[in-house]
């Protein structure tokens, strides 16, 4: 036994000594990189942290945008994929700091607290976080949230959905009262509610009798559950499906059932050539370029940055002529122009009611705290001002015409 112990101790010593040698080399390299980059601020390093890898439509959207922005701006990029929403995120961020990154970005909602911890420890590095809610209350100079007014994109996609339903009514396939859409949602969270409400309002703007059923899966990514939810909605008599979840579950269920689908995160036309109508998505490249420019010029990055149609952050894919109603593209283009000029407001209180009444005041839960109490008046001049007081959506009103099923 003694021999065994001795051999183990020796082995451990060897490993440790090797480790020490390699650490020496590692830190040397880092210090060299650090000294050269501190001299000239035009050679930047941008570190990215992703929850999954390119197999998730959500993360793939970020990966593509990161590559596009860094190549365009001539910035070195380091990607860390499959980083859990745990201490691993903080470790990954700190490791990117060690590698000399000037900007570090994380893409998943649950990464936020760990990014804040890393930001507190490294005031000279800029930390960016998508979909988070805490930058405006944490008030750290180097921690920033970002999102996009994707509700505008969903509204436009909703118009395509409404026109498809109008086409079905005109063709006599369904009656006006049977105009019901289905929506597969991840969690009953403001981001999802804001999304499906704007989608519904878009459809309603062209088809006034339309109603919508929502089913939640309780997960951001679960292909089986999303497929089942879509099938349940179809069985309930929904004649068109849209979704806010990250797998191909709902689109492929629609293709199998021959039910038209309005997608998210990017085009699913390859897998669903007969049912895909159009998809809205956020393009993150403009935000990354904005952040890179800020750091290059030594300017402060906004605590909350909201991309819009005008910044190129909110995009719609090409309309699939095979599935869409005639004139869809033209209608989308017209509404898009009206959104940009301010002629249409998605959450105009004249367009929706809650419990039968039109709202003239609403206190939204903009600041994250355990009480979930409304803290900010968000209705002004008859419009619910979404994404104004922070970048992440906070519209969470249950409006008439939309019902949630179990």
Q: Using CB atoms within 10 Å of the CB of residue 16, give its burial: 0 to 12 exposed, 13 to 18 middle, 19+ buried.
A: exposed
| CA distance linking residue 265 with residue 154, whole number of Å | 11
> Interface with another protein includes 403 (CB under 8 A)?
no
Task: Report in angstroms how near the CB of residue 112 gets to another protein at its nearest.
Answer: 7
Only one of the segments 2-10, 38-46, 151-159, 329-337 lies at the binding site for another protein (rule: CB under 8 A); that segment is 2-10
Q: Which of 95, 167, 178, 223 binds another protein (CB under 8 A)?
A: 95
- C-beta separation of 292 from 46 below 8 A: yes
Task: Report in angstroms how near the CB of residue 143 gets to another protein at its nearest.
Answer: 13
| CA distance linking residue 383 with residue 228, whole number of Å | 36
- C-beta separation of 315 from 335 below 8 A: no
- Binding-residue pattern over the window 121 to 140 for another protein, x denoting contact by CB under 8 A: ------------x-------
Q: Which of 101, 116, 168, 319 binds another protein (CB under 8 A)?
A: 116
The DSSP letter of residue 351 is: G
Structural tokens at position 185: 């949602």
> Interface with another protein includes 401 (CB under 8 A)?
no
Q: Which of 74, 188, 208, 273 binds another protein (CB under 8 A)?
A: 188
Complex with another protein: residue 83 or 344, whichever CB lies closer = 83
Q: Using CB atoms within 10 Å of the CB of residue 229, give its burial: 0 to 12 exposed, 13 to 18 middle, 19+ buried.
A: buried
In 3D space, the residue among 233, 292, 314 whose CA is nearest the CA of residue 76 turns out to be 292
Complex with another protein: residue 123 or 188, whichever CB lies closer = 188
Task: Report in angstroms how near the CB of residue 244 gets to another protein at its nearest.
Answer: 12
| CA distance linking residue 367 with residue 377, whole number of Å | 12
> Interface with another protein includes 114 (CB under 8 A)?
yes
> Interface with another protein includes 237 (CB under 8 A)?
no
- C-beta separation of 139 from 116 below 8 A: no
Cα three-residue angle 211-214-217, rounded to 5 degrees: 170
Q: Which of 43, 60, 81, 329 binds another protein (CB under 8 A)?
A: 81
- Burial call 357-371: b when 16+ CB within 10 Å, e when fewer: eebeebebbbbbeee
> Interface with another protein includes 86 (CB under 8 A)?
yes
Q: Which of 68, 110, 329, 359 binds another protein (CB under 8 A)?
A: 110
Assign 181 to helix, strand or coil. strand
Task: Report in angstroms how near the CB of residue 58 gets to another protein at its nearest.
Answer: 15
- C-beta separation of 213 from 405 below 8 A: yes
Q: Which of 154, 164, 180, 193 binds another protein (CB under 8 A)?
A: 193
Structural tokens at position 400: 């008439």
> Interface with another protein includes 382 (CB under 8 A)?
no
> Interface with another protein includes 363 (CB under 8 A)?
no
| CA distance linking residue 105 with residue 127, whole number of Å | 6
- C-beta separation of 181 from 241 below 8 A: yes
> Interface with another protein includes 78 (CB under 8 A)?
yes
Task: Report in angstroms how near the CB of residue 32 gets to another protein at its nearest.
Answer: 14
Site for another protein in 14-73 (CB under 8 A): 15, 18-19, 22-23, 26-27, 30, 53-54
- Binding-residue pattern over the window 292 to 311 for another protein, x denoting contact by CB under 8 A: --------------------
- Summarize as ranges the residues that interact with another protein (CB under 8 A): 3-5, 7-8, 11-12, 15, 18-19, 22-23, 26-27, 30, 53-54, 78-82, 84-87, 91, 94-95, 98, 109-110, 112-114, 116-117, 133, 187-190, 192-193, 218, 365, 368-370, 372, 396
């Amino acid at each position: 036994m003694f021999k065994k112990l001795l051999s183990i101790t020796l082995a451990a010593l060897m490993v440790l000594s090797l480790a020490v040698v390699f650490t020496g080399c590692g830190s040397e390299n880092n210090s060299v990189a650090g000294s050269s980059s501190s001299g000239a601020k035009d050679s930047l390093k941008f570190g990215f942290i992703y929850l999954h890898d390119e197999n998730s439509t959500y993360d793939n959207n970020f990966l593509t945008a990161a590559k596009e922005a860094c190549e365009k701006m001539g910035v070195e990029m380091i990607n860390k994929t499959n980083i859990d929403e745990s201490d691993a995120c903080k470790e990954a961020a700190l490791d990117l700091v060690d590698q000399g990154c000037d900007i570090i970005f994380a893409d998943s909602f649950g990464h936020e607290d760990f990014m804040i911890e890393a930001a507190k420890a490294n005031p000279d590095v800029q930390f960016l976080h998508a979909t988070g809610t805490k930058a405006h209350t944490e008030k750290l100079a180097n921690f920033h949230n970002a999102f996009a007014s994707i509700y505008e994109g969903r509204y436009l996609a909703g118009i395509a959905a409404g026109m498809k339903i109008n086409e079905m009514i005109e063709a006599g396939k369904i009656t006006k009262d049977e105009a019901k859409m289905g929506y597969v949602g991840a969690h009953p969270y403001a981001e999802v509610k804001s999304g499906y409400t704007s989608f519904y309002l878009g459809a309603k703007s062209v088809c006034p009798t339309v109603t919508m059923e929502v089913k939640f899966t309780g997960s951001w990514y679960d292909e089986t559950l999303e497929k089942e939810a879509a099938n349940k909605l179809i069985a309930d008599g929904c004649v068109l499906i849209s979704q806010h979840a990250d797998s191909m579950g709902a689109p492929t269920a629609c293709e199998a059932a021959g039910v038209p689908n309005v997608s998210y995160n990017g085009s699913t036309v390859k897998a669903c050539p007969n049912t895909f109508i159009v998809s809205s998505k956020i393009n993150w490249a403009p935000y990354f370029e904005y952040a890179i420019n800020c750091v290059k010029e030594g300017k402060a990055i906004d605590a909350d940055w909201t991309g819009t149609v005008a910044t190129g952050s909110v995009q719609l894919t090409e309309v699939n002529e095979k599935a869409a109603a005639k004139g869809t593209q033209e209608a989308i283009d017209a509404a898009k122009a009206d959104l940009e000029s301010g002629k249409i407001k998605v959450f105009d209180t004249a367009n929706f009611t809650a419990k039968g009444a039109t709202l003239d005041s609403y206190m939204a839960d903009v600041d994250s705290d355990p009480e979930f109490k409304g803290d900010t008046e968000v209705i002004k001049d008859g419009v619910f001002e979404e994404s104004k007081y922070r970048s992440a959506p906070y519209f969470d009103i249950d409006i008439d015409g939309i019902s949630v099923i179990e």
